[in-house]
Amino acid sequence: MRNRIAGGIAVALTTGVLSTMAPAPAQAAWPAPDSWLSMLTSTRDAAAAAAAASTTSISSSSTTSTSSSTSSSTSSSTSSSTSSSTSTGLSSAALSALDLPLTNRDASVATGGVNPALPTDSATLGALLDQVRAAGYAPTRYAALLYQYWLARSTEAAGIDLATWNPQTTAKANRTNLVRSYRYYEDFQLAHRELQWAGMAGQVGADFGGGLEDFELATDLLDWAQLSTLVNRLVAKVAAVAGQDSIDQLPEGLPAIVEAFKTVKPADFRWFLSRVLIMQKNIFGDLMPLHTAYVADGGQLTSVTEMIEAGLYDDVDTYAGTGTDEDEDGNGVHDMLDTWRTIATGWDGISAAEAGPIAAANKELLRREQYDVISTQWDAARAYKGSIGEALTYLMTIIAHPSIAGVLPPREANPVIVEKRRWTGRTVVVTLPLPDWNWSVFDERWSWIEAQLLPKYADMVMNDWDALEEILTRPYDYQLESGRPLLNLPKILYSMITTLDVKVVRK
């Protein structure tokens, strides 16, 4: 009976919501997946041509430098303001690009790339790289320049302007960058089955981006104090059914919502949204340079190796006993280069014997993303103004509704279960349609990823490619709109209704 009622609610809500939906925005025309390699190669060739030219203008605040990657001769000009080289044989611009700190590696400091002193176009960056390589400098000396070069290659191929990419604004202002970055991810997967992290991240990105848009929309529209009252009533009902001591069995996010949403301000939501957008750019900046370099080199690892030797990518932390080595805390670690060597075995196709190791290597990239890249940023978001950060991160966990086939949402995968033994000897077991964990806590998030996301996606790659390909080739504007919680409200409500349960058992 409960399922029939829930089904009726879902149908009615679906009809009402879909009848008001505007058509999804038209997707801009983008190259087919098999053309990405040629795009990346042509960009590399353009950079090489620029480097080989006898003079390359590199503007700065007070000098004009001339570079050449094929000749060590210098300009005959004697003017100190236009001198093309120094006593090292490098142009002044190339010399100034050495030993730069990666001040914006996590995307939290400024607009643009990793260091504001560096150009943001790959042709200029490539010319500088050719100079420092030819001069024999170790990759660690030009790490920031190398990173910026491959980041620029990535953003150019995705159609994103690196110089103006500012995540500290709004979801609306970043929509184009969201769409283009995740489209870029998915096209890697479509062209190369071994690049499974990219496809997985692209699919999850639609749910993430859609959630951000609705979160931003709700910031100024909803009465958040009223939500505090509603959650407080829910907590009171649980206490009435299972006893006052059952409150201790509830996740911290629920009382945080009660407390925080009494006084939360729109500015708090905007700060929180900007932190999540920073994480999105941080992930792109960390893993896309590796993917771009891998494909540009035709599945070879020359450029990937150079980035690793420059110290840009440490080994990947894993749980104790599962890696090839151990860190100072006894946790196993995987060598990043070995991870990419394993992925590269699938360049010409994935055999049955290679499927497991390649999936495991992509899992290591995902763990790097979730642990090394953004875990501290999630921790900071959860800690924001005490109960406010706890409430907002928990609220995101409640409304999450993954679109990957077979993946259970957090509220279903690990729901809140409250037990209370009655004087009759029986136990009341209440299952609430709420997650018993918080997405921002790494260990809890990773447990869900290992149990739900990773196995379901890997199975689709190997056993249901046609269905996965159909999903990944959809215009990304459509995918992002389909991931919006407001448009999935019938599914979310049905999920909550079917998860809610009350049992009386004898224990």
Residues facing residue 298 across a β-bridge: none
pLDDT in tens, 407-424: 999 999 999 998 887 777
How far apart CA 296 and CA 243 sit, in angstroms, is 62
Sign of the dihedral through C-alpha 122, 125, 129, 131: positive
Question: What pLDDT score does 65 carry?
Answer: 32
| β-strands 64-65, 316-317 pairing | unpaired
Beta strands in 207-365 (DSSP E): 316-317, 325-326, 332-334
Q: Which of 477, 452, 456, 481 is nearest to 467 (CA)?
A: 456
At residue 242, the pLDDT reads: 67
Tokens of 346: 């699938």
Q: What is the DSSP string of 161-175?
A: -GGG--SSS-TTTTH
Tokens of 336: 């990043």
Give residue 12's pLDDT band: very low, low, confident or very high (50, 70, 90): very low
283 CB-side CA count, 13 A? 27
Percent of the chain with pLDDT over 90: 61
Q: State the pLDDT at residue 163.
A: 97
Of 46-55, 121-130, 495-504, which has the strongest mean pLDDT?
121-130
Calculate the average pLDDT of the chain: 82
Residue closest to 401 by CA, chosen among 459, 488, 468: 488
pLDDT at 419: 85
Of the two residues 312 and 226, the one the predictor is more confident about is: 312
C-alpha distances in angstroms, 143 versus 115, 147, 419? 11, 6, 55
Return the pLDDT at 507. Answer: 63
pLDDT of residue 232: 80
- The answer to whether residues 310 and 143 touch, using CB atoms and an 8 Å cutoff, is yes
Residue that wins the pLDDT comparison between 137 and 506: 137
Under the banding of pLDDT at 50, 70 and 90, the label for residue 334 is: low
Reduced DSSP (H G I as helix, E B as strand, rest coil) percent helix, strand, coil of the chain, to 5: 60, 5, 35
* pLDDT of 55 strictly over 60: no
At residue 239, the pLDDT reads 74
Helix (H) or strand (E) holding 432: strand 426-435
Condensed to tens digits (0 to 9), the pLDDT of residues 362-378 reads 999 999 999 999 999 99
How large is the average pLDDT for residues 485-494? Answer: 90
In this predicted structure, the answer to whether residue 50 has a pLDDT above a threshold of 60 is: no
Q: What is the percentage of the chain residues whose pLDDT exceeds 70?
A: 77
> What residues have CB less than 8 Å from 297, skipping those under 6 apart?
303, 304
Q: What pLDDT score was predicted for residue 249?
A: 81
Listed range (240-244, 306-310, 355-359) with the worst mean pLDDT: 240-244
Average pLDDT over residues 306-317: 86
pLDDT band of residue 6 (cuts 50, 70, 90) is: very low
Start-to-end CA span in the chain (Å): 27
pLDDT at 248: 77
Confidence of residue 60 (pLDDT cuts 50, 70, 90): very low
Q: How confident is the model at residue 53 (pLDDT cuts 50, 70, 90)?
A: very low
- Residue 185, pLDDT > 70, answer yes
pLDDT for residue 61 is more than 60 = no
Please give the structure tokens belonging to residue 52. Answer: 């080989």
At 89 the pLDDT is 80
Specify the pLDDT at position 213.
93
User: Which token pair is 234?
Assistant: 């829910």
284-296 pLDDT per residue, tens:
999 999 999 999 9
15 Cβ contact partners less than 8 Å away, ≥ 6 residues apart: none
Give yes or no for residue 63 having a pLDDT over 50: no
* Side-chain-side CA neighbours of residue 29 (13 Å): 0
Which pLDDT value is given to residue 456? 96
Whole-number pLDDT of residue 427: 86
Residue 69 confidence (pLDDT): 33
Cβ contacts of 196 within 8 Å, gap of 6 or more: 189, 358, 359, 362, 457, 458, 461
The dihedral built from the CA positions of residue 376, 380, 381 and 382, taken in this order, carries a sign that is positive
247 pLDDT band, cuts 50/70/90, is confident
Whether pLDDT at 85 is above 50: yes
Over the stretch 432-450, which tens digit does the pLDDT of each residue have?
A: 899 999 999 999 999 999 9
Q: Which of 244-248, 388-392, 440-444 has the lowest mean pLDDT?
A: 244-248
Tell me what pLDDT residue 316 has: 59
Does position 52 have pLDDT exceeding 60, yes or no?
A: no
Q: Is residue 138 predicted with pLDDT exceeding 60? A: yes
Nearest to 272 by CA among 327, 219, 224, 346: 219
Q: Which of 495, 476, 497 is nearest to 177 (CA)?
A: 476
pLDDT, tens digit, 9 for 90 and up, residues 204-215: 999 999 999 998
Q: Which residues in 12-97 belong to E strands, given as ranges? A: 58-59, 64-65
Which residues, 6+ apart, have CB-to-CB distance to 110 below 8 Å?
A: 103, 104, 116
φ and ψ at residue 326, rounded to 5 degrees: -135, 145
Residue 418: predicted pLDDT: 87
